[in-house]
Structure 1
Amino acid sequence: MLLALLLCYGGFTALCLSMDRHHADLLGRKPSTRRRLNMRLGGWLLLGLSFWAAVSATGWGLGLVEWFAVLMLSALMLVLLLPYRPRLALWLAALGLVASPVCAVLT
């Protein structure tokens, strides 16, 4: 479930950064069209990988429930961190994406 959480948070952060306003607030400039498209594609890919991680770990019955719980938790974390600690939100996403291969190997 930790792997699914890390991937969900990274996916939601990438989707957040694909929006002009959030990208400008967090990184200081507006994204190019190509970067925006790559962020969207990467975000949806990470969300799909998190779905795969949750379902493959515990099966369809419990995996779907865990995945929806992880979706809500990671979205809540991002929504609460963005207004108050935006740099921390980016650091957590980067740390989660770096730690996810390690988590995948250990589980």
Structure 2
Amino acid sequence: MLLALLLCYAGFTALCLSMPRHHDELLGSKPSARRRQGLKLGGWLLLGLSLSAAVAANGWSFGLVDWFAVLMFSALALVLLLPYRPRLALALAGVSLLACPVAAWAQC
């Protein structure tokens, strides 16, 4: 469950950064078209990996329910952090990507 949460948060942050407005706010520059495509692809890939992690942990029946809960929680956390602590939101995405291998190892 922790792995799915970390992957979801990182995926939503990547999708957020693929938008020019948020990219400019957080990183100080507009993204190029290539970077935007890469962030979109990476974000959707991370969300797909989070689905597979949730299903692997709990099976299809409870895994999908857990995945939807993790999706809502991570999106809510990102939406609440962006207006007040945008740098913290970005730092948490980096930490979540770094913590994913540890969470994957703990899940096995």
Fold-level similarity (TM above 0.5): yes
Aligned to 1:12: 12
1:52-63 matches, within 5 Å, as: 52-63=52-63
Match of 1:2 in 2: 2
Q: Which residue of 1 aligns with 2:91?
A: 91
What's the TM-score, normalizing by structure 2? 0.98
Aligned length: 107
Residue 33 of structure 1 corresponds to 33
Report the Cα offset of residue 40 of structure 1: 0.2
Counterpart for residue 49 of structure 1: 49
Q: Structure 2 CA distance, aligned partners of 1:23 and 1:92?
A: 16
Amino acid at match of 1:48: G
Q: Which residue of 2 aligns with 1:66?
A: 66
Superposed CA RMSD: 0.3
Shift of 1:83: 0.2
TM-score, length-normalised on structure 1?
Answer: 0.99
The percent identity for this pair of structures is 73
Deviation at 1:106, TM superposition (A): 1.4
Unaligned runs of 5+ in 1: none
